[in-house]
Amino acid sequence: MRVFKFGGSSLCDAEAIGRVIDILQEKSIEEKPLCVVVSAMGGVTDEIIRTAKAASHREIAYRETLKALRKRHTKVLNAIAHGDRETTEIIQEQCVEFFGICDGVYALGELSGKVLDRLMSFGELCSAHMVAAACRHAGLDAKFVDSRDYIVTDERYGAARVDFEKTAAALHKLDADGATIHVLPGFVARSANGRITTLGRNGSDYSAAIIGAGLGASAVEIWTDVNGVMTANPRYVSDAESIERMSYVEAMELSHFGAHVLHAPTLQPVMEKTIPLLVRNTFSPDFKGTIVGNESVSERIITGISTVDNVSFIRVQGSGMVGVFGVAGRLFTSLAKAEVNLIMISQGSSEHSICFAVQDADNQKAVQAIETEFELEMQAHMMDTPVVEREMCVLAVVGENMRRRPGIAANVFGSLGESGVNVVAIAQGSSELNISMVILQQDASKALNAIHSAFFKK
Ligand code: ADP
Ligand code: ASP
Ligand code: MG
């Protein structure tokens, strides 16, 4: 059994969904049954969030965006599965429920994470019903399967954590032989108490990997709008190339550092079971794309480069940090308690300062946590107030072949120097798989192109 996942970019309109159905038609001849995990139609989740926020701010215009969302879905459904009354009714029911919740948000002027998860789930639920209907319309034996009945999480709304034991037990009961094609909504799940949760933005990739691992799939295929994982984001680097093969760890590093063609947690479940992960292009289905497996077979020194955009770089420094036990422990524990996610850490050997990068949205939370933890040290002038530099980005150079090979850092930083890009901080893990650095956001494109030319144009 193979698991296919189609992202929002592959489901943006009726024409794109038509391509998806063509791909499934071909695949279902080769192998049966298939599991198909789908995202919401392109842009729908963003639109749902905007609508929900507008309602919570008591902006009556939310009603117009709601109507536009309903119109978009019904129009596409008519085009891909005209006359499917059952699905039309399901979409109408979903819309009525969605409208009702949004009206409640408007009346209260309040939007909790729990309610937002419920609202966001409509995107994937509708698209899964629609894709199943389109398959049937094309003569395929397809049915909607509700992934919320199988993926069990905690109640951390917005980015719920999966209970793998309960999920594996539930997936064990999925009757994969009940139809040729099972269409499941990605991104959505349910807590043990029955609350609807979501797996984090871009999380449908993760759903596919969880389902693939739980069912012991022979492969998980992520179908998107580019030719697989590329040496850099093609939106930044026009001559980026498709990576034929890469290791799970390389893919994990690249996705953690901003290559959002794969949602970073996706790699873990498939890596644990050594299930090959393929990344393919819906708009160029004959192209092989990328195979992610145990080994990287690339001849190249580096496999790829990526950036995490819009980060803040925070420096904690002071004479009281030198030679004192436990400062780093207290610092990172206080950040963890405040639920601040660290993207990268760097400390000079003088121990005088520790620097780290966080998402811009987290910088206030981080500063507050540090000021509370080190209040006494700051009063005694042993530690300074944290310094925050905004509008930065973290650039990562990733590749298994960098290990024990001298001269790579010189080449990376030499090419940045020649392009006039200033490097604010650097970190390299001892695995030598990744060199990451903090630079100004405005230099991101220049830096990516400079390093890309230095390593890939020879
Ligand atoms: P989907 O809707 O299929 O989930 P995403 O938008 O989440 O698609 O991911 C695909 C996008 O990821 C591409 O269009 C591209 O802009 C971006 N991307 C970023 N880094 C890379 C990379 N290294 N290789 C390929 N795509 C990348
Ligand atoms: N629809 C969700 C999002 O936009 C999940 C996904 O597309 O993977 O984040
Ligand atoms: Mg995606």
- Total number of domains in the chain: 2
Nearest CA to ligand 1 atom 10: 261
Residue 417 C-alpha to ligand 3 middle, in angstroms?
33
Let me know: does 293 contact 249? Beta carbons within 8 Å.
no
Of 17, 231, 261, 449, the one to substitute when testing ligand 1's pocket (max ligand atoms within 8 A of C-beta) is: 261
> Does residue 314 sit within a domain?
yes
Residue 216 C-alpha to ligand 3 middle, in angstroms?
22
User: Would you tell me how many other CB atoms lie within 10 Å of the CB of residue 423?
Assistant: 16
Same domain, yes or no, for 186 and 308? no
Q: Supply φ then ψ for residue 306, to 5 degrees.
A: -155, 170
Query: Ligand 1 — pocket residues by CB below 6 A?
Result: 7-10, 39, 202, 224-226, 229-230, 232-235, 259-261, 304, 306
Same domain, yes or no, for 173 and 311? no
* pLDDT score for 349: 59
Q: Say whether 269 sits in a helix, a strand or coil.
A: helix
Same domain, yes or no, for 308 and 197? no
* pLDDT score for 299: 79
Q: What is the DSSP letter of 169?
A: H
Instruction: Give per-residue pLDDT as tens, 415-455.
Output: 999 999 999 989 877 677 899 999 999 999 999 999 999 99
Instruction: Please tell me if the CB atom of residue 203 comes closer than 6 angstroms to any atom of ligand 2.
Output: yes
Same domain, yes or no, for 206 and 308? no
Residue 10 C-alpha to ligand 1 middle, in angstroms?
11
Q: Which of 194, 225, 256 is the last residue of a domain?
A: 225
Any idea of the CA torsion for 293, 299, 300, 303, to the nearest 10 degrees? 0
Same domain, yes or no, for 52 and 149? yes
* pLDDT score for 117: 98
* pLDDT score for 430: 62
User: Residue 224 corresponds to which tokens in the numbers above?
Assistant: 């998107």
The neighbouring-strand residues paired with 354 are 316, 347
**Nearest ligand 2 atom, CA 187:** 5
Ligand located closest to 226 CA: 1
> Does residue 258 sit within a domain?
no
Instruction: Please tell me if the CB atom of residue 202 comes closer than 6 angstroms to any atom of ligand 2.
Output: yes
d(CA 222, CA 240): 19
> Does residue 34 sit within a domain?
yes
Q: Which of 179, 209, 225 is the last residue of a domain?
A: 225
* pLDDT score for 28: 92
Nearest CA to ligand 1 atom 21: 233
> Does residue 83 sit within a domain?
yes
Of 44, 202, 224, 262, the one to substitute when testing ligand 2's pocket (max ligand atoms within 8 A of C-beta) is: 202
* pLDDT score for 350: 62
Instruction: Please tell me if the CB atom of residue 41 comes closer than 6 angstroms to any atom of ligand 2.
Output: no
> Does residue 285 sit within a domain?
no
Q: Which residue is associated with the tokens 């497996």?
A: 293
> Does residue 401 sit within a domain?
yes
Q: 276 preceded by cis ω (within 30°)? A: no
CA 45 to each of CA 185, 200, 224, 450, 453: distance values in angstroms, whole numbers, following the listed order: 13, 11, 17, 34, 36
d(CA 163, CA 149): 13
Q: Say whether 196 sits in a helix, a strand or coil.
A: strand
> Which value, in Å, is the radius of gyration of the alpha carbons in the chain?
24
* pLDDT score for 458: 57
Residue 324 C-alpha to ligand 2 middle, in angstroms?
45
40 torsion bin: left (phi>0), alpha (psi -120 to 50), beta (else): beta
Instruction: Give per-residue pLDDT as tens, 275-330.
Output: 999 999 999 999 999 999 998 777 788 999 999 999 999 999 988 777 778 888 99
Let me know: does 13 contact 48? Beta carbons within 8 Å.
no
The neighbouring-strand residues paired with 143 are 182
CA-closest candidate to residue 429, choices 390, 399, 389, 388: 399
Ligand located closest to 227 CA: 1
Let me know: does 142 contact 132? Beta carbons within 8 Å.
yes
Of 10, 204, 266, 279, the one to substitute when testing ligand 2's pocket (max ligand atoms within 8 A of C-beta) is: 204
In residues, how long is the chain?
458
Of 224, 309, 452, the one to substitute when testing ligand 1's pocket (max ligand atoms within 8 A of C-beta) is: 224
CA 205 to each of CA 103, 224, 279: distance values in angstroms, whole numbers, following the listed order: 31, 10, 10
Verdict on whether the full-model pTM lies above 0.85? yes
Q: Supply φ then ψ for residue 294, to 5 degrees.
A: -70, -35
Same domain, yes or no, for 183 and 68? yes
Which CATH number belongs to the domain containing residue 318 in this structure? Answer: 3.30.2130.10
Instruction: Please tell me if the CB atom of residue 42 comes closer than 6 angstroms to any atom of ligand 2.
Output: no
Same domain, yes or no, for 151 and 49? yes
Domain that holds residue 436: 304-456
**Nearest ligand 1 atom, CA 304:** 23
Same domain, yes or no, for 309 and 162? no
* pLDDT score for 457: 74
Residues of the chain scoring pLDDT < 70: 176-177, 348-351, 430, 458
Let me know: does 143 contact 182? Beta carbons within 8 Å.
yes
Same domain, yes or no, for 109 and 14? yes
Same domain, yes or no, for 343 and 204? no
Q: Which of 205, 225, 245 is the last residue of a domain?
A: 225
CA 226 to chain CA centroid, Å, is 16
H-type alpha helices, 81-157: 85-108, 113-137
Same domain, yes or no, for 35 and 134? yes
Residues ≥6 apart with Cβ < 8 Å to 247:
292, 293, 294, 295, 296, 400
Bridge-based pairing state of the strands 219-224 and 2-6:
parallel
Q: Which residue is associated with the tokens 């909504």?
A: 185
> Does residue 259 sit within a domain?
no
Instruction: Please tell me if the CB atom of residue 45 comes closer than 6 angstroms to any atom of ligand 2.
Output: yes
Which CATH number belongs to the domain containing residue 27 in this structure? Answer: 3.40.1160.10
Same domain, yes or no, for 310 and 435? yes
User: Would you tell me how many other CB atoms lie within 10 Å of the CB of residue 85?
Assistant: 7
> Does residue 443 sit within a domain?
yes
Instruction: Please tell me if the CB atom of residue 122 comes closer than 6 angstroms to any atom of ligand 2.
Output: no
Instruction: Please tell me if the CB atom of residue 19 comes closer than 6 angstroms to any atom of ligand 2.
Output: no
Q: Which helix (H) or strand (E) holds 73?
A: helix 62-80
Ligand located closest to 38 CA: 2
d(CA 271, CA 75): 40
Nearest CA to ligand 1 atom 9: 261
